[in-house]
Structure 1
């Protein structure tokens, strides 16, 4: 009997080892300690990570989206979660993980990685863009353009203000997040030479634009991103968002990508940082361009919105290629990165 018990214990230890040390932690009731947590927003963004990494340990987390109820981890220190799209899903899912008991995020680096629209003045389809500032495009008053005074540039008015350009009279406190410049610069430096995916359809479509950045091949850059639950499109709104970004950031931010989640995700992470559960300076935001956020010359905004630009597959591929170049470096050099971003 004793021999059979020892043999069973041995088989159990081997099985646990094969499934990764993180499952051992979970079975022992100890929190998992990711070195890097990748946050994606929907399944197609997560797919390259799941295909390219051995994320075999699955952890169900109460409070995650019913569509994406598990966090996937490997034995090296990489975890991946998917929030589902939009502000509500992003904030709720990230808060559930941060304030749950299953993960210790005290030393974790966070990579928010997904696709976005891109301003043709700053990038092209497939470009990978690291953010320095993340700006909420929706915390404001909005007057329909058909009802604005003739001398107004647009209907975007700061909260508590009376006209465009006036400073806000009040706010929510989540309008602008400044990310760690050291991490953003390091991420850019480590990934600027990554070979990026492109495609014939994307190359043909971007030739319709006049801007040099739009017509060029995809590249890795540093710029900024705007979050807005509304999937907006068109040059008129684009010009207004550009002005809004400069205003709300006191001229510090130059938006190049637009997406639907990042201020919400960062708000949940900031709450966690304020509670002493994570380090906000260890957050990087990477957005890759799946579409232009406005029409090309001779094209209507609605035609542009529905166009098949060929940018989707390069964008999800490059989010993984560029993002994993950073995460692989952090994990491989953890002895250095565990203490903070290397100089």
Structure 2
């Protein structure tokens, strides 16, 4: 090593983080998607030609796709992939996310009482559907209605159990509310197939056209389906949120994503108050009347296309508001204009 190189390394080591970070990409918005179908609308509609390779990302999606203001990443599906990918980016020394807003934008199942195919829902609470005890219904006591019970308890509805600490996240209410206000009138995609399928449900909300709302999302590695499990999940959201949560969407990553972001926030790498979670409905989480759960799970509802498109349309409406009015957003979520 030359004396010049050694001096440069020594000087760099003494520089404050603020000076080093000036040379790093510092997007105003980081968009987190979970698989290619969610990522593609962002790539198709925005110029994201700059790639930033991040060690630790999956081989199928090894880099962020960026412009000067916004980056998109793909975690790949499930808790393990989401946590690993998000941690790799959030803790990376190749991008500065300390001032960035983080937007999770993906598809989900939806409760037909709270949403419909193609509808878009901003999360207030993010709840883990796992991290519980589960006994097969065929082996539970006759007096039990369910084999699902909280960790550390001995019967359904029991209290004073133990937790893993990632069962519940409450997002910044001001950001969620501003996101809803900004995006509620977004023109949403729909399809004739989705309209025909939603007509088989009796719930008025399910039968209607797609819309934007704020409610709450439930995460699980297991892609569960059906009215009986859905009722258990509704109860879980209500219990963990003290009755304040309204379950509407079901997906496979968000608690894991938030756990990784929480660790990054504790390390001073991101601002946890700048996280928004958007999920759009690609399918109903339970069967219609006269339909079995298995038939519903295997049905082609026509919701996938509108859901992936609307995750972009609604998410991008918020992202572009942040980017185009950065002076107002730079120091935190602004009040309504």
TM bracket, shorter-chain basis: over 0.9
Residues of 2 paired with 1:199 and 1:168: CA distance? 47
Map 1:84-233 onto structure 2 (within 5 A). Answer: 84-233=76-225
Closer, same or farther: CA 168–136 of 1 in aligned 2, 3 Å: farther
- Deviation track 1:194-217 (CA, whole Å, cap 9, x = no partner) reads 011111100000011111110111
1:53 pairs with 2:46 = yes
Match of 1:24 in 2: none
1:34 pairs with 2:30 = no
- Deviation track 1:269-315 (CA, whole Å, cap 9, x = no partner) reads 00011111111000000000000000000000000000000000000
SS for the counterpart of 1:213 is helix
Q: Hey, which bits of structure 1, 4+ residues long, moved more than 4 A?
A: none
Closer, same or farther: CA 62–89 of 1 in aligned 2, 3 Å: same
Query: So what's the TM-score if we normalise by structure 1?
Result: 0.90
Ranges in structure 1 where 5+ consecutive residues have no aligned partner: 1-27
- Deviation track 1:116-136 (CA, whole Å, cap 9, x = no partner) reads 000001000000000000000
Match of 1:342 in 2: 334
Tell me the number of residue pairs that the alignment of Structure 1 and Structure 2 aligns: 315
State the superposition RMSD in angstroms: 1.1
Residues of 2 paired with 1:154 and 1:121: CA distance? 22
SS for the counterpart of 1:190 is helix
Residues of 1 paired with 2:203 and 2:59: CA distance? 42
1:277 pairs with 2:306 = no
Ranges in structure 2 where 5+ consecutive residues have no aligned partner: 1-20
Q: Offset at 1:155?
A: 1.3
Q: Offset at 1:254?
A: 1.1
Query: So what's the TM-score if we normalise by structure 2?
Result: 0.92
- Deviation track 1:205-261 (CA, whole Å, cap 9, x = no partner) reads 001111111011110011000000000000010001111111122112111000000
* Residue number among 67, 70, 93 corresponding to 2:63 in the alignment: 70
* Residue number among 306, 315, 318 corresponding to 2:310 in the alignment: 318
Residues of 2 paired with 1:281 and 1:84: CA distance? 24
